[in-house]
Amino acid sequence: MKQEHVVDKALRDQIISIIDDVDDMTIATVRADGFPQATTVSYMNDGLNIYFMTVADGQKTRNIARNNKVSLTINRDYKDWNDIEGLSMGALATAVLDPQEKEKIGTLLLKKFPEAAQYEPGDDIDLTFFRLEPKVISVLDYKKGFGHTELVEV
């Protein structure tokens, strides 16, 4: 495993390409009983900043309110193990409260998922947007050899 403190351009471009190209991630939060909870969610991004939404009174929201350290994975589809390429991250989750940032997220959402326009949240659904700021990223790239990973501190 190679440890990087400064991300070179090619590796940064690979990371952003994976984030840009995939629609869903698995995010792990910590439940009140100490167990991790892994959930698949759709997400949007602006470079390395990743955004997702969830119901305001949901389990993920409560978990993040207690502990904003999360882990996540984003993986490209593959047919052969030699083509595995993905990311595993440790990140800090922050609820987005700024109206301008929420508007930006809405624009990113509709650009990535145009079908979302038909799902207007009603008065009975209260959503929370979260921003995920990666702190450490493990890049899996089996094209460079079985089990090849590169660890990047952001």
Per-residue pLDDT of the chain (154 residues; tens, 9 = 90+): 344 444 688 999 999 999 999 999 999 999 999 999 999 999 999 999 999 999 999 999 999 999 999 999 999 999 999 999 999 999 999 999 999 999 999 999 999 999 888 776 665 678 899 999 999 999 999 899 898 888 888 8
Angle at 6 between CA 46 and CA 84, to 5 degrees: 65
pTM, two decimals, is 0.87
Could you give the 3-state DSSP secondary structure of residue 125? coil
CATH number at residue 82: 2.30.110.10
Backbone angles phi, psi at 134, to 5 degrees: -60, 140
Quote the number of domains for the chain: 1
Q: Tell me the two tokens of residue 121.
A: 């949240």
- Is the CB of residue 30 less than 8 Å from the CB of residue 36? yes
CA atoms of 132 and 71, how far apart (whole Å): 10
Q: Write out the residue range of the structural domain in which residue 100 sits.
A: 2-153
pLDDT of residue 109: 92
CA distance 154 to 141: 18
Alpha carbons 72 and 87: distance in angstroms, whole number: 8
Tell me what pLDDT residue 154 has: 84
What is the reported pLDDT for 5? Answer: 44
Q: What's the CA gap between 46 and 108, in Å, rounded?
A: 8
Amino acid 151: pLDDT: 85
